[in-house]
């Protein structure tokens, strides 16, 4: 199962021609043998969830001051929030609010589902909904200083938000969450929502990855003590989704899917680390499981989840020489209708590019440059 | 399959760019100057309508393939190198081809196998186990 290609090429490769050739021949042989081996093992890993409602979402214990009867629903909402299943999280928080309308933190939960950090930026409708929910939170009577500080922090994001304002508002929220985490060091959830805020406010051009490293430094020590918490494992993966830190995320990637085994994002997200590390067999297994979960009857996932797993599958199949399995993915992506994709995730809709054959990746088995790209060559293609 | 590879008129800019990049790279391999001119025109139209499209790697890569096709290897390398260095730190897009691998492909095609091999080595260190990088590194090592 664990198979490693040479991640870094041997130094001797640069020394002489003959050993260099030999090493590459070995690497290629290993690659092709590996492709054959995983073709036989991956299908056994696919599991179709049988229940219509996900039961296993990990362990979350967010202390609240509201009626004792709403705690289970509230924790369920937070667990769903940590695995980015925002529609379902909203339903859970709505249940809390309808059972206990004075529960201020329930409206905070609803508003958090409209923030959807690390996914597409909120739409104007999301901002309007989030602001209205925070106003309800402000009016509700049952709250504590600690809960009020979560609500006030989220105000920093929603208040006065205009389109393209994402980064300054996400940074203001992150700064406020830093204070919450500092003021309540015993509050595990504050120590988790703060690093999430750091990830969501990471400046896109920071080559030093300061926010990501800071988030990892907070989360990783917590992972050992709370191995079944959905947020910790999840956000470690997001923090490490880059070439500099990918190795540090492998442990979390190997655990997160088991924490929430019916949640498509929890099944898919580990594959970001597997893909960074070139662990294609794990990448494929992860996305087949996620795709099956996203197709499960009764769970009502948007097609964006399927599309996203399909582009990963296409890519990983091509990396392992499984060209015959990559091809049907392209055809399948073309059958997905725009109306089935959640319009709040336009970035995921762009994943439909999977319907296009990837010229560079597939040229050797699928066709020549000319036939793939529908261009009229002015000169004969040299054999490659 | 070729007839499907056209940008969808109403698709988002990232889907359009993926297709244009494929066209640019294919045209470059075919040494088809006419086609890269068409791709460049389509790119300019797209980015003038939607300036955000310029934020991704694809427009830089498309321009590099255009330069390469015109015989300007130096210009192509100058475009791709900063992108490759940035990607080594923060990562390439999740299902994209690494810019450094494209750089290596260009060097190999222009008869510079030793330089290409070094670029493949670096590319495989930040994006390990990529099928084409391994295969083309073998090519470079043989030459």
pTM for the structure as a whole: 0.85
- Read off the pLDDT band of A19 (50, 70, 90): very low
What tokens does B24 get? 């640019």
Interface contact B26-A359, CB threshold 8 A: yes
The domain containing residue B27 runs over which residues? 12-71
Question: Closest Cα of chain A to B102: distance in Å?
Answer: 9
CATH number, domain at B99? 1.25.40
Please say whether the beta carbons of B90 and A242 come within 8 A: yes
A364: pLDDT strictly greater than 60:
no
Q: What is the pLDDT at residue A371?
A: 55
User: Which region among A43-47, A172-176, A194-198, B73-77 has the lowest average model confidence (pLDDT)?
Assistant: A43-47
User: Do B101 and B64 share a structural domain?
Assistant: no
Q: Is B62 on the interface with A (CB under 8 A)?
A: no
Q: What is the pLDDT at residue A55?
A: 83
A118 dihedral zone (left: phi>0; alpha: psi -120 to 50; beta): left
Q: Is A3 on the interface with B (CB under 8 A)?
A: no
Burial class (CB in 10 A: 0-12, 13-18, 19+), A175: middle
* Sign of the C-alpha dihedral computed for residues A203, A204, A209 and A213 taken in this order: positive
Predicted ipTM > 0.85: yes
Q: Is B23 on the interface with A (CB under 8 A)?
A: yes
What tokens does B59 get? 């427009």
User: Do B64 and B79 share a structural domain?
Assistant: no
Interface contact B26-A378, CB threshold 8 A: no
Burial class (CB in 10 A: 0-12, 13-18, 19+), A156: buried
CA atoms of A307 and A320, how far apart (whole Å) = 20
**Strands in B32-135 per DSSP E:** none
- Read off the pLDDT band of B53 (50, 70, 90): confident
Q: What is the pLDDT at residue B9?
A: 58
Question: Is B138 inside a domain boundary?
Answer: yes
Please say whether the beta carbons of A197 and A117 come within 8 A: yes
Higher pLDDT, A278 or A50: A278
Nearest to B27 among A206, A241, A375 (CB): A375
Domain-wise residue ranges, chain A: 56-258, 261-358
CA atoms of A207 and A209, how far apart (whole Å) = 5
A383: pLDDT strictly greater than 50:
no
- Count other C-beta atoms under 10 Å from residue A128's C-beta: 14
Please say whether the beta carbons of A3 and A284 come within 8 A: no
Show residues of chain A in contact with B15, CB under 8 Å: 350, 352-353, 356
Q: What would the CATH number be for the domain defined by A56-258?
A: 1.25.40
Strand partners, B18: none
User: Do B140 and B112 share a structural domain?
Assistant: yes
Q: What is the pLDDT at residue A8?
A: 28
Q: pLDDT tens-digit profile of A86-141?
A: 999 999 999 999 999 999 999 999 999 999 999 888 999 999 999 999 999 999 99
Higher pLDDT, B90 or A121: B90
Question: Closest Cα of chain B to A134: distance in Å?
Answer: 31
Dmax over CA atoms of chain B, in Å, equals 46
User: Do B79 and B62 share a structural domain?
Assistant: no
Higher pLDDT, B14 or A36: B14
User: Do B83 and B44 share a structural domain?
Assistant: no
What angle, rounded to 10 degrees, do the helices at B99-109 and B57-69 form?
10
Residue B10, helix vs strand vs coil: coil
User: Which region among A253-257, B31-35, B138-142 has the lowest average model confidence (pLDDT)?
Assistant: B31-35
B49: pLDDT strictly greater than 90:
no
Interface contact B25-A377, CB threshold 8 A: no
Q: Is B60 on the interface with A (CB under 8 A)?
A: no
B4: pLDDT strictly greater than 70:
no
CA B45, B46, B50, B54: dihedral to nearest 10 degrees? -110
User: Do B90 and B30 share a structural domain?
Assistant: no
CA atoms of B44 and A283, how far apart (whole Å) = 36
User: Do B81 and B53 share a structural domain?
Assistant: no
Higher pLDDT, A380 or A195: A195
Q: Which residues lie closer than 8 Å to B40 by C-beta, 6 or more apart?
A: B24, B62, B63, B66
Domains of chain B: total: 2
CA atoms of B123 and B99, how far apart (whole Å) = 8
**Which of the listed residues B71, B89, B109 is the one where a domain comes to its end?**
B71
Q: What is the pLDDT at residue A344?
A: 59
Backbone angles phi, psi at A306, to 5 degrees: -65, -45
Question: Is B3 inside a domain boundary?
Answer: no
User: Do B80 and B141 share a structural domain?
Assistant: yes
B73: pLDDT strictly greater than 90:
yes
User: Do B123 and B92 share a structural domain?
Assistant: yes
């Amino acid at each position: 199962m664990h198979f490693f290609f040479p991640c870094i090429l041997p130094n001797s490769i640069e020394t002489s021609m003959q050993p260099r050739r030999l090493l590459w021949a070995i690497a290629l042989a290993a690659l092709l043998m590996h492709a054959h081996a995983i073709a036989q093992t991956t299908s056994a890993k696919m599991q179709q969830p049988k229940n219509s409602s996900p039961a296993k979402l990990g362990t979350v214990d967010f202390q609240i001051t509201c009626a004792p009867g709403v705690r289970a629903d509230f924790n369920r909402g937070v667990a769903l929030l940590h695995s980015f299943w925002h529609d379902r999280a909203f339903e859970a928080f709505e249940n809390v609010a309808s059972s206990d309308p004075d529960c201020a933190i329930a409206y905070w939960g609803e508003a958090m589902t409209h923030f959807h950090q690390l996914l597409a930026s909120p739409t104007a409708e999301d901002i309007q909904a989030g602001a209205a929910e925070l106003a309800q939170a402000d009016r509700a009577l049952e709250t504590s200083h600690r809960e009020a500080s979560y609500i006030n922090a989220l105000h920093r994001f929603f208040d006065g938000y205009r389109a393209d304002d994402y980064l300054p508002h996400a940074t203001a929220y992150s700064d406020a969450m830093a204070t919450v985490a500092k003021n309540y060091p015993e509050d595990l959830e504050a120590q988790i929502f703060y690093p999430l805020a750091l990830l969501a406010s990471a400046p896109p051009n920071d080559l030093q990855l300061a926010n990501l490293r800071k988030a990892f430094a907070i989360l990783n020590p917590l992972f050992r003590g709370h191995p079944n918490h959905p947020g910790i494992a999840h956000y470690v993966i997001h923090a490490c989704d880059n070439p500099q830190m990918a190795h540090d995320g492998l442990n979390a990637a190997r655990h997160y899917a088991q924490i929430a085994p019916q949640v498509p994002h929890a099944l898919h997200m580990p594959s970001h680390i597997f893909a960074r590390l070139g662990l294609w067999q794990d990448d494929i297994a992860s996305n087949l499981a996620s795709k099956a979960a996203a197709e499960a009857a009764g769970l009502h996932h948007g097609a964006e989840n399927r599309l996203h797993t399909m582009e990963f599958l296409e890519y990983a199949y091509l990396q392992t020489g499984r060209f015959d399995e990559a091809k049907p993915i392209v055809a399948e992506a073309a059958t997905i209708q725009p109306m089935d994709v959640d319009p709040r995730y336009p970035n995921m809709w762009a994943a439909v590019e999977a319907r296009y054959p990837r010229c560079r990746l597939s040229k050797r088995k699928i066709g020549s440059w000319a036939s793939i790209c529908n261009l009229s060559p002015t000169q004969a293609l040299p054999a490659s | 399959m070729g007839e499907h590879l056209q940008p969808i008129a109403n698709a988002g800019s990232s889907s359009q760019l993926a297709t244009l990049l494929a066209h640019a790279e294919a045209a470059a391999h075919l040494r088809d100057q006419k086609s890269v001119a068409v791709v460049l025109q389509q790119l300019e139209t797209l980015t003038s309508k939607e300036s955000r499209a310029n934020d991704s790697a694809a427009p830089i890569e498309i321009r590099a393939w255009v330069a390469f096709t015109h015989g300007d290897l130096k210009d192509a390398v100058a475009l791709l190198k900063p992108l490759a260095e940035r990607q080594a730190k923060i990562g390439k897009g999740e299902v994209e081809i690494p810019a450094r691998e494209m750089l290596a492909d260009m060097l190999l095609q222009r008869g510079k196998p030793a330089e290409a091999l070094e670029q493949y080595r670096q590319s495989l260190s930040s994006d390990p186990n990529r099928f084409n990088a391994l295969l083309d590194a073998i090519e470079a090592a043989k030459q």
